[in-house]
Amino acid sequence: MKERITGAEALMRSLVNEGVKTIFGYPGGAIMPVFDALYDYRDRLNHILVRHEQGATHAAQGFARVSGEVGCCIVTSGPGATNTITGIADAMIDSTPMVVICGQVGVSMLGTDAFQEVDVVGITSPISKWNFQIRRAEDVAWAVSRAFYIAKSGRPGPVVLDFAKNAQTGMVEYEPAKVDFIRSYDPDPQPSDEAIKLAARMIDDSVKPFVLVGQGVELGNAQNELREFLEKAQIPAGCTLLGLSALPTDHPLNMGMLGMHGNLGPNVMTNQCDLLIAIGMRFDDRVTGNLNTYAKQAKIIHFDIDPSEFDKNVKVDLPVLGNCKTTLAAVSKLISPAKHNSWIQGFQPYAEKEYNKVIEKAIHPTQGPLLMGEVVRKVSEAANNEAVLVTDVGQNQMFGCRYFKFTKPRSVVTSGGCGTMGFGLPAAIGATFGVPERTVCLFVGDGGLQMTIQELGTIMEQGCPVKIILLNNNFLGNVRQWQAMFFNHRYSFTPMANPDYEKIAEAYGIPAHTVIDRQDLDDSIRVMLDTPGPYLLQCAVMEEDNVLPMTPPGADVDKMMLEIKE
């Protein structure tokens, strides 16, 4: 006779069967049977108790982004479940593989407005790749296997399991399940031979080709294929925010970051190339600017694993469906070695102009208060440009992504499509569990830090070695910049009265230091990096520092501002 176990224990066995080792979560009434079962699996499943359920989702995201594995979190019903909504939406738009398991009232109580009952399936349907309500213990093994398969295959994304309490306590003759096929779901579409051949011909025929590198390269583990492709065809490339570490910063064909606060050359040359090759990116509005003028002179090839992205925002001449690890390798075999020296050299004047007008002032100031750009660059270099960059959202994010340097893949953890303030601190916690051997540097503003500041308790309990660099300008900096530029300096509710962050860190047992003077910055950074475990380095930065260049919202992508005129 087969062993009979509870649905809650079936969940534990199923998670182990999926290779899960780390879970982020928070217990509560409707998920208590699961946490009781988890008590006996502490040697196999490392549960990280966060201080808020939103923190659990962002930690799971940070874990997934750096490790390439599926992030996992477990929370209770009602407010526990609704507190995960922001993280689920964030993971959906940024294609982050994550499984969220929520408690739910028993099936007999559904629809009665029972205590802490919320329609989780209804709420999460638009923001998840798949969701399912587990109503019977017999469905646990199948649902978990299917959830992980969907979350990590194809274009990754979040999956939600709504776990009714009676299914947690019910008994089942457990058998492991292995879902690796779903009818009508094709996560690994095979590329068309004709599309591959046509792409190769278009590339060979181009004189001024330009590649847009998106996060799909990282998600598809196609970093090597990308480099081989670029180097054989000698094509310059620009990277999206989430694709920044897919290509080393100092690679000679890496022309910099695309987008509203990207580098001047890649944005201008987007509207001068004759062939635009988009790889694993979704033509976000922050990258394209005004769609009516975006790359109208160019033919466009779009490599992507998700057919829904083709022609969604930008009409393309050739969609190439498939995992870019496969499609890039196939195209590379067919293209002819090429040189585009004069075209590549055309980026140089823009790089020099941007350096002279913006970058040199941002990273090598000689007087005045500390600047965010110089702090970011000094931290990056002190960590040998090998650290994982985690950011919150706002000016800290833009300065972080502009001036941090990358030598290793999967080194950028930031909230792209959702722009979630409060993302940074818990995501950095998750990253330390995903790649415990690497240094994790979090750049965060005073606004974003306070949104999830309770996760300092998680750092305290777990000893997570997050190096927190607080760029404190006493403002909601990004909104203030827009108010300065577009709202006549009317700073409506953007100045912030801040607490004593050193005392807060001390209360959590986290070493902390505040640096104000430029001459103290190098030593302060070295102390932070040399201190075992977590550290908070507060940098008192210029209050009205601005992120430049900038393409104003709705403007042409090549109409970048290098200065703000008063």
3-state secondary structure of 133: strand
Q: Are 466 and 413 in contact (CB under 8 A)?
A: no
% of the chain at pLDDT higher than 70: 100
3-state secondary structure of 26: coil
Query: Tell me: the pLDDT tens digits for 265-299?
Result: 999 999 999 999 999 999 999 999 999 999 999 99
pLDDT for the residue 1? 64
DSSP class of residue 191 equals: P
Architecture of domain 369-540 in this structure: 3-Layer(aba) Sandwich (3.40)
Query: Tell me: the pLDDT tens digits for 311-365?
Result: 999 999 999 999 999 999 999 999 999 999 999 999 999 999 999 999 999 999 9
pLDDT for the residue 566? 62
DSSP class of residue 561 equals: B
pLDDT for the residue 3? 87
pLDDT for the residue 86? 98
Structure-block tokens of residue 127: 């923001």
pLDDT for the residue 160? 99
Structure-block tokens of residue 13: 């066995």
Side chain identity at residue 198, one-letter code: L
Query: Tell me: the pLDDT tens digits for 156-193?
Result: 999 999 999 999 999 999 999 999 999 999 999 999 99
Query: Tell me: the pLDDT tens digits for 508-553?
Result: 999 999 999 999 999 999 999 999 999 999 999 999 999 999 999 9
3-state secondary structure of 444: strand
> What is the rounded distance in angstroms from the CA atom of residue 548 to the CA atom of residue 260?
9
User: For the chain, which residues make up each domain, given as ranges?
Assistant: 4-173, 193-348, 369-540
pLDDT at 432 over 70: yes
Residue/partner pairs of 515-523 with CB below 8 Å, 24 or more apart: 515/370, 515/539, 515/540, 516/370, 516/540, 518/365, 518/370, 518/374, 521/370, 521/374, 521/375, 521/378, 522/378, 522/382
Angle at 391 between CA 564 and CA 495, to 5 degrees: 50
pLDDT for the residue 128? 98
Rg (CA), the chain: 24
3-state secondary structure of 94: coil
- Nearest-CA neighbor of 12 among 45, 57, 47? 45
Q: Are 444 and 469 in contact (CB under 8 A)?
A: yes
Question: Confidence class of residue 260 from pLDDT cuts 50, 70 and 90?
Answer: very high
Residues 128-140 have a mean pLDDT of: 98
% of the chain at pLDDT higher than 90: 99
Query: Tell me: the pLDDT tens digits for 64-94?
Result: 999 999 999 999 999 999 999 999 999 999 9
Alpha carbon of 489 to those of 393, 467, 469, 475, 539: distances in Å? 21, 34, 28, 13, 24
Query: Tell me: the pLDDT tens digits for 23-39?
Result: 999 999 999 999 999 99
> What is the rounded distance in angstroms from the CA atom of residue 52 to the CA atom of residue 444?
18
Is-same-fold flag (193-348; 369-540)? yes
Residues 4-32 have a mean pLDDT of: 98
Strand pairing class (388-391; 22-25) = unpaired
- Nearest-CA neighbor of 56 among 26, 94, 77? 26
Task: Tell the CATH superfamily of the 193-348 domain.
Answer: TPP-binding domain (3.40.50.1220)
pLDDT at 388 over 80: yes
Alpha carbon of 242 to those of 80, 196, 491: distances in Å? 29, 26, 30
Q: Are 28 and 76 in contact (CB under 8 A)?
A: yes
Enter the pTM of the model: 0.97
pLDDT for the residue 565? 77
pLDDT at 422 over 70: yes
Does the structural domain 4-173 have CATH classification 3.40.50.970? yes
pLDDT at 117 over 80: yes
pLDDT for the residue 2? 79
If you average pLDDT over every residue of the chain, what do you get? 97
Query: Tell me: the pLDDT tens digits for 479-498?
Result: 999 999 999 999 999 999 99
Side chain identity at residue 463, one-letter code: G
Three-class SS string for 486-535? Answer: HCCCCCCCCECCCCCHHHHHHHCCCCEEEECCHHHHHHHHHHHHHCCCCE
3-state secondary structure of 11: helix
Tokens 């022609």 appear where?
311
